[in-house]
Structure 1
Amino acid sequence: MDRLQSMRVFAKVVEQGSFAGAGLALDMSNAVVTRHVADLEKHLGVRLLNRTTRRLSLTETGLIYLERAKQILQDVDDADAMASSQSSKPAGTLRIYSHLGFGQLQLAQLLPRYALLFPDVKLDVTLSDHAVDLVEEGFDIGLFIELQKFDASMIARRIGLSDIILCASPDYIRQHGMPLKPEDISQHICLNFAYEQLRHHWPLFIDKRRIDVPITTKLVSNDGNLLRQCALAGMGIVIRSSFTLGDDLSSGRLVRLLPQHHLGTVAVTMVYPSRRQLSAKVRSFIDFISATFPEPESDPWQAA
């Protein structure tokens, strides 16, 4: 039994929604596809798929196994692609899309380091708050945040989880005091995003407990950088994803408030159209970002 091939066939059956569809996609007979799935289930000693005459559905075990199998298959393909690309020197123009805030405050620090490592790669970078179709618009790679949508067929690798935190300038804290508990925020001046769900309350989390804190809003804006600049000027308390703060916290320009609390997390994801036959320039950037952010389930942008 070729277990990796059986895993590929199983994943393709789920993707296509049928054995026949998987057979067409993989250029295999229906009998061969069925045998691969049956052999895999026999090897594991569990049922992965529920089969009826009309449809297929994953069992609970099948759903868990599928996610792990997809990651294993991606890692194998990535290893193959990395090995085959070693003979090619990264060169040419690399077109990168990035979420605006991440690009301005994080990518801007990363690109000089990448450029030193790969001097023959020319960088063409587009920043925007709007999601794009990477393939249609000719991008090699994209860096998205959780609220942005991208094509489900893209290869996606999370690079980190960014906490949404409360901050204020030292001047503001000197004038208005340091909030010591979530309820204290109600007595302060807040700089708020123009989201309806945040208009009257900020939901603060500690562990799994949620506290909805009524707020007094001095400024509302759809532009995060405007809110940040006003917070730096001492105008009020702001909520920001950690990746949008740059070195504001480590430099002391802003101070994190209620450090045990946050307003949730935002995933930052690296997205690219295909893991097969990646060019050396694309592979070099993927490896660079992966090495820079080796712990995708943590927040690498928090100040120490």
Structure 2
Amino acid sequence: MQPAHIGFIGCGNMTQALLNGFIRSGLVEPTKVIVSAPSDKNLSKVCSLGITTTHDNDLVVASSDLIFLSVKSEVLESVINDLKPIEGDHNPLFVSIVGGLTIHDLEMMLLSVTAMPRVVRTMPNTPSMISQGCCVYSLGSEVTPEEGHVVQELLSAVAVCEMVPEHLINAAAGLSGSGPAYIYMAIEALADGGVKMGLSRHLAQTLAAQTVKGAAAMVMETGKHPAQLKDEACSFGGMTISGIHTLEKHGIRNALISAVEASSNKSNEIDHR
């Protein structure tokens, strides 16, 4: 089951990432995609894909079976309010990649467009821009499991994608949404350590980034628990266990757990503002 036509309202970085992933994977035919934005600046970046571009959001709604809402949260309500009510039996599925808005919020906004809004809320993270992302999604009450599967299949082109109950969206946001920033800090700090011990900045950063990438791949591809992989890297009385002791003294586990907790709690606050 695939939507016949896909639309995007908004053409920022995430729209561009999704479009490239969908088309590159063969899941979507470019001729069946339409994207709107208020100016040509971002639209010009996707024209080469062979899709239709427009400044008319109503044309996107009228032309599409599945519509990605991909604008900033502070302007989404005004964008929706400017849409004309849908005529006839057309009832597209709306997929939100807008942070800070619950399914209920989105359904209430879309009542001005359709009598029975069908909404999927998603939370892709920034590495989705290079097809290495994480994404969770939740289904509104009017969305069928089959439609949810279509959304998951599409998003899997750019991210590891899993369905969760909506109350866990913010937990995922605190982990995978904010997590890349924590890892960037870890890469920077590892590189700084290498520089301190005599490596060039370029080499230290390359080694740090590849070390993180390789360790992540080991977790994903072996299926082993991270603690087991950590133990396998530590020889008796060796340098790695000495480094781990230092990390534990400085509270690395507590720092990361607390960071996820703080980000998740902040996401909850934004949802309920």
Into which bin does the TM-score normalised by the smaller protein fall? under 0.3
Between Structure 1 and Structure 2, which shows a larger proportion of strand residues? 1
Between Structure 1 and Structure 2, which shows a larger proportion of helix residues? 2
Q: Normalized against structure 2, the TM-score is what?
A: 0.26
Q: Which has the higher contact order (CA 8 A, sep 6+)?
A: 1
Which structure has the larger Rg?
1
